[in-house]
Chains A and B, each alone.
Chain A
Amino acid sequence: MNSPAPHITVRDLTMAYGGYVLQRDLSFAVNRGDVFIIMGGSGCGKSTLMRHLIGLKEPAGGQVLYGPMSFWEAEPEERDRMMRRFGIMYQSGALWSSLTLAENIALSLELYTNLKPAEVRDIASLKLALVGLAGFEDYYPSEISGGMKKRAGIARAMAIDPEILFLDEPSAGLDPISARLLDDLVLELRDSLGTTVVVVTHELSSIFAIGTNSVFLDAETGTMIATGNPKRLLAECEHPTVRNFLTRGEAKAAAKPGEVPAPCFLT
């Protein structure tokens, strides 16, 4: 399943809302089977970067490549085919409120496979069981708790066994034990299905527990200031912003006056 070519390559990406440039010169690669963390302080553009990766927002400049294919230069049909290989969990779950949990999961199975209704139902039940929601098939999203909605959101994202799973703030708003279970689930999926996982988060415990690679976006300079394995970044990175972030501010690191701290791109 492993191939040397990166699964996702981001090249000189510029993200902008109208004339306002949020981040520029983003270049990094996500390998197959990586748990890739997009991190940074609030408002630095983490979720926006994810919207660029999943094809909801067109970059102001630069490219997003899946394997050798450039997403935004591809034909619309090809782009649809690429998007079908993504599983996405949105920050609030974004479950369709007029459908039951089973129907939420079944929708993409019905669209993209020729399975019989009973088989679709079995797969939906399996996905719900995988996230610990066995028996909740006929519940509507409004009838379950916030944490359950998150898990159901992951079950929906996994519906057609995606190659890449995008998770936007998966553990925000969850109790520590549920957050831990969610981390375990992500690793389990990666290990058993070989799924590449891209996670937007600023939960430090999650970052260190599951992250194998990462990019750090800085709001102040409007570009990335670190890449690499989060644990190694904690040990090796000298950039004050990254240090403060990864130690919860305890490092009290500060740049020397008049000096621009060097970014750390670990390979």
Chain B
Amino acid sequence: MTDVGEPHGTGELRLNKTPDGELRVTLAGKWYMTDTPPSPDMVRNEIETFPEIARVSFDARDLTGWDSSLLTFLLAVIDFCSQRAVPVDREGLPVGVNRLLTLATAVPERKGTRRSAGHEPFLARVGEYAIVFWRSTREMLAFIGETFTALLRLVTGKSRFRGSDLLLVIQECSADALPIVSLISLLVGLILAFVGAIQLKLFGAQIFVADLVGIGTVRAMGAIMTGIIMAGRTGASFAARIGTMQVNEEIDALQTTGISPIDFLVLPRLLALSVMMPLLTLYADAMGIVGGMIVGVAGLGLNLREYYDETIKAVSLTNLWIGLFSGFVYGILIALAGCMRGMQCGRSASAVGDATTSAVVTGIVSIVVATAVITVICNILGI
């Protein structure tokens, strides 16, 4: 008889070979995963080195404690033995261990369940991206189309949503946004004035700071800054709200109740934001001009009245209309982006996070693209 033994923390493993080809695995001490129990490799090596081993049996009389680590050890040994067609005698194991081993092997692994870890080839991945891109483009177009038909239904009075929902959304995306819009617009006005003042001072033309701030804010910056604030604030909130409803199956419940989720969830948000954005833009314009005025009066020594008159002279009504129209367009885009990403949301917590991120990105990108388009059109029209 040969003895191989190795004390391993508190769990002990001893291997004895009998002359008739039996490998006796003696388990002793406490086998707990917290004390690094012995590894099944010792048994594996023994069986590989001595092909004359015909049977494996266990002796667990000195085993004083065990947990799952013993089970994983035994499963590995049993698995290896069955690959080598070496019979295993489980008699000597404690009853509890035997029962759990039976339970663990009771439901065989279903074929095709396990996933291969291999990487997809490059072309396959490119193809997959292309398919996903095409699918998401179609989804986007379908969503816009559905929203448009819902709007038509609204005009003909066939669309259903609750008036109180509309009022709540209006409050969320107008009055509740005033503090942040005030702060950002005022600061943007200040920045514009400072940057302009440095150049204009060289020519002694400080008074034109009023023109710069007035036209810049009213025609573009007021609407753009409000749009970006609202994309981050309200667009994200739309996506998170609708996405969570998707996770909770609330959208499914709406559909099966016969209520179009587009009518019920998207329309009030779209209406609220497209009506409120021009108003917020107007407010942001005023705050921006006040910001410029602070720099003009306090920093450049201009007269308040003088600054006011210059602003009135510079800013034409056309500028204001372009700014307000931009705000209106941004409102539609932000609402669509937020609601669309929410509706497309998957059914898990991380999907809601992805939807929110995606709503903000889509919102801001579409604002920038829309600004470019509006600018080009204005250029062509000569206004």
Contact = CB atoms under 8 A, between A and B. Distances in A.
A129 to B, nearest CB: 4
B109 A123 contact: no
Interface stretch (B43-51, B69-77, B214-222): B69-77
A134 B71 contact: no
A188 B71 CA distance: 15
A98 interface: yes
Nearest to A132: B107
Interface string B106-118: 1111100111000
A49 B33 CA distance: 31
B368 interface: no
A192 B100 contact: yes
Contact of A138 (B33, B69, B105, B114): B114
B99 A134 contact: no
B68 interface: yes
Contacts of A160: 33
Contact of B34 (A114, A134, A139): A114
Contact of B113 (A109, A135, A185, A188): A135
Contacts of B144: none
A135 B104 contact: no
A97 interface: yes
A205 B104 CA distance: 25
Contacts of B100: 130, 188, 192-193
Contacts of A140: 348
A123 B69 contact: yes
Contacts, number: 79
A126 interface: yes
B96 A193 contact: yes
Interface string B41-82: 000000000000000000000000001110110011000000
Kindly name the residue among A115, A123, A126, A127 whose own CB sees the greatest number of chain B CB atoms within 10 A: A126
B100 to A, nearest CB: 5
Interface string A45-85: 00000000000000000000000000000000000000000
B347 A142 contact: yes
A119 B68 contact: no
Interface string A185-220: 100100111100000000000000000000000000
Nearest to A136: B113
B142 interface: no
A140 B346 CA distance: 13
B380 interface: no
Contacts of A98: 348-350
A97 B348 contact: yes
Contact of B69 (A119, A136, A185, A188): A119
Contact of A109 (B33, B95, B99): B33
B72 A113 contact: no
Contacts of A133: 107
A35 to B, nearest CB: 16
A40 interface: no
B107 A129 contact: yes
A192 B113 contact: no
A122 B72 contact: yes
A129 B104 contact: yes
B202 interface: no
B103 A130 contact: yes
B115 A130 contact: no
B348 A126 contact: no
B136 interface: no
A228 interface: no
B349 A114 contact: no
Interface string A110-131: 0011110001001101110110
A141 B105 CA distance: 23
A238 interface: no
Given A188-B99, A188-B103, A119 B72 contact: yes
Contacts of B109: 134-135
B107 A134 contact: yes
A25 interface: no
Interface in A12-57: none
Given A109-B33, A123-B33, A161-B67, A97 B103 contact: no
Contacts of A109: 33
Contacts of B259: none
Nearest to B352: A97
Contact of B68 (A123, A141, A194): A123
Contact of B350 (A97, A113, A122, A129): A97
Contacts of B300: none
B131 to A, nearest CB: 20
Given A130-B103, A161-B68, A192-B100, A113 B108 contact: no
B97 interface: yes
Contacts of B347: 142
Nearest to B32: A161
A142 B348 contact: yes
B316 interface: no
A159 to B, nearest CB: 8
Given A98-B349, A113-B33, A142-B348, A134 B108 contact: yes
B76 A135 contact: no
Closest 4 CB pairs of A and B: A192-B96, A135-B113, A132-B107, A135-B109
Interface of B: 33-34, 36, 67-69, 71-72, 75-76, 95-97, 99-100, 103-110, 113-115, 346-350
Given A98-B349, A112-B34, A188-B100, 15 more contacts: A97-B349, A122-B72, A126-B72, A126-B75, A129-B105, A130-B100, A134-B108, A141-B348, A142-B348, A160-B33, A161-B67, A191-B96, A191-B99, A192-B96, A193-B96
8 contacts: A122-B75, A123-B72, A126-B72, A134-B107, A135-B109, A138-B115, A142-B348, A161-B33
